[in-house]
Structure 1
Amino acid sequence: MRATRIIFGLGYLGSRVANLWRDQRDHTWASTRRDDPTEAMFVARTLTAQADVTKPETLGWLREVSSHMGAPTESLLYAVGYDRTAAPDIHSVYADGLQNVLAALPASVTRVIYISTTGVYGTAGGGWVDETTPTAPHRDGGKASLAAEEILRAHPLGRRSAILRLAGIYGPGRVPYLDRLRASEPIAAPSAGWLNLIHVDDAARIVVAIDRWLADRNEADSPHLFCVSDGVPAVRGEYYAEAARLIGAPPPQFTTPPADSPAAARAGADRRVSNAKLRKWMATQGLALQYPNYREGLAQILNSNPAI
């Protein structure tokens, strides 16, 4: 029988997850703050409902999803991004928003996948972090994501759910600074320091596999926590040197970003994210990363469309 799922956040990652579920012939409901469905919703053939996670009064439709589909709604993917041009603050969207959605879910939902971030960790001085590393976020996004994790842990559904701390997502249309590389303009970031990455297609496949795995488990043994990265951190300068090479641009130049800029804050974290737990789990599922390092990922993106 087809499954029915709910997605909040049909963006760069969520839309690809919806497409994979579409290919499995599953039903998906997605929310939008817009008055009309997005192009991604049409492509994924999702059923849509207008909602704002910061406004509980817009979430009543969640309890009606099962009756519309004639089948129980099984799972929720919460992958909401933060729109800096909108009014609510990031804590209201990530943490309070998740709490509002959890409170409005139909009783048939058995599991939740929350898309978090490796930004929940603190400064590591170039060292490695994993699922056992204490959290100490410095930026608002990491603090809000950690608050959302705690909300899910405290909720009854948390015991059958997963928290995925994603590294930086890259993929088609999301390789920063290509215009600067082509124009030989400096990138406002230090050339040293580590980038932790995951190709968007690998991230989407992992979400779908985690959902299937959760559905097959009988245990209610707390949220399963995974750091989702390719496990091969890249030195920033080497990453952009490879991107420049692939598009036929000169080697990159770098300049020191303003001390109070987001680029400086990201660079200050200087950590390497281990994916050992994820790889061990993937092996039990017969899965492997399609893009196990940034060189293979960039080659797929830029060799197929160097104009991106």
Structure 2
Amino acid sequence: MTEKTVPDRPDDLAATHPDSMDPPRLLIIGCGYLGVRVGRQARAAGWSVAATSRRRLSSIADEGFEPVRFDWNDSRDLSTISQVIESHAINRVLISVSYDRNSSVDRFASQVDGLSRLLGAIRAVPGHASGHSPDVCYISTTGVYHQTGGMWVDERSPTHPNRDGGRAHLQAESKMRGCLGHSPWTILRLSGIYGPGRVPRAADVRAGRPIASPPEGHLNLIHVDDAASAVISAFSWTRRGKTMPENASADSPPRNRDCSERERLYVVSDDGPVVRRQFYEEIARQTGAADPVFVEPGENSGVRFRSETDKRIWNRRLKRDLLPKLRYPSYVEGLRDIL
């Protein structure tokens, strides 16, 4: 674990959580690109980590996490999760499950019904009714927003997604609210995650291949290490009262709000929404490649569908409560670190 991947927060993260008498014990449901980095940060902070996968158990063990085979579409696995939570006294659960397009289960049956089954298993653990249920963080997406025209959106903006991915996540969020009620939980709506090994179209830009994407419209991004830090910070919330600025704007002084309670919902995005052309031009600049050439994406291309929305994510609440200072505040710093 290199020093720069450790979040800028107090060294003893366990001491800041309401159940600080207990050591932090994290269970990651869906240990993929983000989950691995959350686990690494948690381990670096002294937490114990268990993580689930359907197939990648050996690589999870190599990370120093306890591997747990789990598929929320297989009802036989649900008792396993309840047993792991109980036997390991798990007090934090990250749900970060991506939809497998090669699965025989459709998106809504997996992402909504599968989540509902998992939440039922969490609720079935002894101690839930007495208020000792684990703190649950669900990874959602800013794809739930439908806005166009470069409109700024935040946690209060309406959500009418026009794609199945956004609709499924929005329904899953509703399941979180209905199933977990007043127990501790948080929803993080993440912008597009990028990081080492995951920079959209970088290879095409370097090779001088045309980019099949509209050059205009905004990209909202978050570096994977900052996204992981947001998860750790949400899990490290303190209920000791503190005063934070609320409703601050350039035209009026901020009012203060007692932030003794964590919000239920945060959008997680960096400080600088960027026009697509500028993002790819920055890749070219940093790698010494020629400026990219853009061509129309295919009629049924996912890029075309994603470009039908054009919004800019306002991360004020994230920076107020969870990450006052991002390690990679914009794509420029993030690409410089990666490329």
TM-score of the two chains, using structure 2 as the length reference:
0.82
Report how far residue 215 of structure 1 moved.
Answer: 7.8
Contact 1:112–1:158 at 8 Å: present in 2 too? no
Alignment of 1:192 with 2:216, yes or no, is yes
- Counterpart residue identity of residue 335, structure 2: L
Contact 1:152–1:158 at 8 Å: present in 2 too? no
For 2:215 and 2:35, the matched residues in 1 are separated by 31
18 and 144 in structure 1: CA distance in 2 versus 1, 3 angstrom threshold: same
Bigger fraction of residues in helix: 1
Alignment of 1:270 with 2:289, yes or no, is no
5+ residue gaps, structure 1: 303-308
Report how far residue 178 of structure 1 moved.
Answer: 1.9
151 and 277 in structure 1: CA distance in 2 versus 1, 3 angstrom threshold: same
Tell me the equivalent position of 1:32. 53
Question: What per-residue deviation string (whole Å, max 9, x for no partner) do you get for residues 181-206 of structure 1?
Answer: 12211111011110000000000011
Same amino acid, percent of matched pairs: 39
Report how far residue 162 of structure 1 moved.
Answer: 0.7
Counterparts of 1:125-204 in structure 2, within 5 Å, are 125-157=149-181, 159-204=183-228
Tell me the equivalent position of 1:226. 266
5+ residue gaps, structure 2: 1-21, 242-258
Tell me the equivalent position of 1:46. 65
Question: What is the aligned length?
Answer: 294
Tell me the equivalent position of 2:291. 251
For 2:303 and 2:134, the matched residues in 1 are separated by 39
Counterparts of 1:49-128 in structure 2, within 5 Å, are 49-66=68-85, 68-69=87-88, 72-105=89-122, 106=125, 107=128, 108-128=132-152
Secondary structure of 1:162's aligned partner: strand
Which of 7, 12, 16 lines up with 2:33 in the alignment?
12
Report how far residue 82 of structure 1 moved.
Answer: 1.4
Report how far residue 159 of structure 1 moved.
Answer: 4.6
Secondary structure of 2:307's aligned partner: helix
TM-score of the two chains, using structure 1 as the length reference:
0.89
- Counterpart residue identity of residue 250, structure 1: A
The CA RMSD measured in Å over matched residues stands at: 2.1
Contact 1:233–1:273 at 8 Å: present in 2 too? yes
- Counterpart residue identity of residue 266, structure 2: F
Secondary structure of 2:226's aligned partner: helix
Question: What per-residue deviation string (whole Å, max 9, x for no partner) do you get for residues 261-301 of structure 1?
Answer: 11001111111111011111136xxx410000110111111
Report how far residue 110 of structure 1 moved.
Answer: 2.9
For 1:189 and 1:67, the matched residues in 2 are separated by 48
- Counterpart residue identity of residue 98, structure 1: L
For 2:27 and 2:114, the matched residues in 1 are separated by 15
220 and 300 in structure 1: CA distance in 2 versus 1, 3 angstrom threshold: closer
